[in-house]
Amino acid sequence: MVESEVSGVLFTANPLTGKRGETVIDATLGLGEALVSGKVEPDHYVVDAPSALILSKSLGEKVRSTRGRTGGGTVELREKAAAIQALPDSEIIALSRLGAEVEDHFDSPQDIEWAWAGGKLSILQSRPVTSLYPLPSGLREDHLELFFSFGVWQGMLDPYTPIGQDIFLHLVAGLGSMFGIRQSPEKQRGLLVAGERLFVNLTGLLGRRLGRTVLGVFIESIDPPSGKILAKQMQDSRLPPPSGLGPGDRLSLARGMLPVIRRVLGFLLRPERGRAALERIIEGELAQAAATLDSAAGLSALARAIVRLVGGRLGAIMPRLLAGVIAGQAPLQILIRRIADVEGGTALAMELTRGLPHNVTTEMDLGLWRTARAIRDDPPSAARFSAEDADALAAAFMAGQLEPAAQSGLGDFLGRYGLRGVGEIDLGRGRWRDDPSLVIAMLKSYLEIDEAASPEESFRRGAEKACRARDELLDALRRRPGGRFKARLAGAMASWVRELGGLLETPKFFVVRLFGVIRKTLLDSGKALAEAGTVERPDDLVFLRLAELEALGTGDPRDWKALIAERRATYTRELRRRRVPRFMLSDGTAFYEAASDAERDGVLRGSPVSAGIAEGLVRVVVDPRGIQMVPGEVLVCPATDPAWTPLFQAAGALVMEAGGMMTHGSVVAREYGIPAVVGLRDATRVLKSGQRVRVDGSTGTVVVLDSNGY
């Protein structure tokens, strides 16, 4: 309807990088049909909308155009326009401004079709740009910030339920009080929500030299691709330049860290006593939390009790939990750096982490193996587990109808570990005790494992390798100048690693157990509300925030069912999101992957985290529920949390898209002695189930030996 001299499309945010305020324009001669059908290479202009500055121009071939025909219809013409700029600079700027007006009108980035005819710009169509990752709310336009994915850190890339988000916002606000920072969960800026996921605000730490050093070491250890992204972003002059700590900063840091340091020294001086004291504190806190929640009269009182537990008590115990982790991990990091010039020293240091005692995740896997062995030793139980699928067995267990040995063994295991589950760091997610089918599927896998390849044997062999690695390392140091002193110091470090390194998983296990206690009480309230018709289902309450739960408990008449349905729909939509950025800038720029040679010469390259070489058939797993691994398969997955690790025992090797040397999946892989490669970009897409591959956990490479999948 517009006799376009020039037409095209405009994005009010860069669809490639996600950067807001960067207008991207494609322009061609004539009508836009040739452009949208892919028949023409258009001009490409990029404009910084706030400053009205054209950042770049690339002229396309524009070898053909579609024009209107007199009397109706169109005609396609050949053009010689490669050297002609389709739209003048003045009109590029005017179009960018017009796009900004459309974006303001719809209050979201827009994908716009436009036309230029007779010196006049026309908007033909506008729709939201749905491919952009959402930004946190309340960002300042004059202040650039950098956010890191909490999901990458935790090995859980799914969205969080509203209650799960709110719990962590209250926790961060409570932890801030350790450093003299008093802010409400809504006003704190340390942890933000975007796309129903959590992101850690690193901007403040980047403004301090100490903060940059700590971040560099920490993020590299949990996800090497993220480490590369961070190193590059540290060079961005728009972010705060690093400076030293001022007097106020030092006081705040001392206030928060001195209690932690004092407890770290206590762990180092008497490891066994420190572990025992920590266990007593944890059990006491959980018992007190259960009593507090049980005594809450009504939903409003329950919501207030949860706030006190998460923002108060959980924050108060965190220094003790953190001290145990530091006491076990700091010696390892120091040792790695002190023996970096010893041939094979780093590998020997990492061997010290094999078969670590006092690791709650390893103890869980050993408990699952003992349950499987009890089932295998009971012929009726073994026969039933062989004949029925996991869902049928789970239904029988929930009805109390399994054979006595299986019913008792599984019941004991879930009594200790039933509060765990996939995505367990989100209080709103289901637990094994709610649906034990995943545990039963893993038990069925364990029943196929020979005694010689059992978790107990893997753990024992790992401990022996760690002992040999310690002896080799100390022998190498003794042969160097000053070797006796160096060996004594390294020996002390190695002992601390063995005695305290297993505490790495303790804080999360405590948090998950606390979440389980809270969740049970919350679902009990939800059941009563569902019976009264206030909500549809007991677990509807996890789609409300704590303040909303309190309001619901006081009889607030708002349409709770409609609000919950809307939240469920948002959560379900976000579950389908395939890509989540590792980092984001507050201008919208999203970083999904680090630049790398992930694939070269037919070899896939990631980061090595557990030494060894294994060949096997690929098993791509995006969700572990219902998965029964065949012993020897290569487990390929996006990321893992502790609920995945029982699968490792059946796996011949592990390949993950996210993760680093010190994430729990890597730690457990080393303990079990299975080769592991992490940080392998798009592994779940590039590799196919049924392909035969060779995984080298020493070099971080994966070679496809047979490309035919299932």
- pLDDT per residue over 229-272, tens digit each? 999 999 999 998 888 777 766 777 777 778 889 999 999 999 99
What was the pLDDT predicted at 409?
A: 96
Q: Please say whether the beta carbons of 339 and 346 come within 8 A.
A: yes
- pLDDT per residue over 624-636, tens digit each? 887 888 889 999 9
| pLDDT above 60 for 382 | yes
What was the pLDDT predicted at 425?
A: 94
Task: Of 51, 50, 57, 64, give the one whose Cα is nearest residue 24.
Answer: 57
Average pLDDT over residues 171-182: 78
CA distance 203 to 221: 20
- pLDDT per residue over 104-152, tens digit each? 999 999 999 999 999 999 999 999 998 899 999 989 888 899 999 999 9
| pLDDT above 60 for 598 | no
What was the pLDDT predicted at 677?
A: 94
- Best-predicted range by mean pLDDT among 171-175, 393-397, 670-674? 393-397
Q: Please say whether the beta carbons of 95 and 101 come within 8 A.
A: no
Average pLDDT over residues 33-43: 80
Contacts with 36 (C-beta within 8 Å, 6 or more apart), sequence order: 9, 113
Average pLDDT over residues 521-527: 96
- 9 DSSP β-pair partners: 26, 113
Q: Which two tokens stand for residue 610?
A: 């557990």
CATH superfamily of 6-128: ATP-grasp fold, B domain (3.30.470.20)
Q: Please say whether the beta carbons of 659 and 678 come within 8 A.
A: yes
Q: Please say whether the beta carbons of 590 and 15 come within 8 A.
A: no
What was the pLDDT predicted at 337?
A: 86
| pLDDT above 90 for 424 | yes
Q: Please say whether the beta carbons of 407 and 420 come within 8 A.
A: no
Q: What are phi and psi of 484, to 5 degrees?
A: -60, -45
| pLDDT above 80 for 1 | no
Q: Which two tokens stand for residue 443?
A: 């038990």
Give residue 707's pLDDT band: very low, low, confident or very high (50, 70, 90). confident
Task: Of 368, 387, 390, 367, give the one whose Cα is nearest residue 379.
Answer: 387
Residue ranges of domains in the chain: 6-128, 339-576, 599-706
Average pLDDT over residues 527-541: 95
Give residue 15's pLDDT band: very low, low, confident or very high (50, 70, 90). very high
| pLDDT above 90 for 611 | no
Q: pTM score, two decimals? A: 0.88
What was the pLDDT predicted at 673?
A: 83
Cα 284 from chain centroid (whole Å):
30
Query: C-alpha distances in angstroms, 333 versus 214, 265, 637, 685?
Result: 12, 16, 27, 34
Mean model confidence pLDDT for the chain: 91
The b/e string for 568-607 (b: 16+ C-beta within 10 A; e otherwise) is: beebeebeeeeebbbbbbbbbbbbbbbebebeeeeebbbb
What was the pLDDT predicted at 178?
A: 66
Query: C-alpha distances in angstroms, 139 versus 143, 210, 237, 415?
Result: 8, 25, 19, 44
Beta pairing, strands 634-637 & 613-620: parallel
- pLDDT per residue over 320-365, tens digit each? 899 999 999 999 989 988 888 888 888 888 889 888 899 998 899 9
CB neighbours (10 Å) of residue 79? 17
Domain boundaries 599-706, CATH class: alpha beta
Q: Please say whether the beta carbons of 146 and 235 come within 8 A.
A: no
| pLDDT above 80 for 76 | no
- pLDDT per residue over 425-478, tens digit each? 999 999 999 999 999 999 999 998 888 888 888 889 889 999 999 999 999 999
Could you tell me what percent of the chain has a pLDDT over 70? 97
Max Cα-Cα span within the chain: 97
- pLDDT per residue over 499-515, tens digit each? 999 999 999 999 999 99
Query: C-alpha distances in angstroms, 419 versus 366, 395, 430, 491?
Result: 17, 18, 9, 38
Give residue 278's pLDDT band: very low, low, confident or very high (50, 70, 90). very high
What was the pLDDT predicted at 183?
A: 84
Average pLDDT over residues 519-525: 95
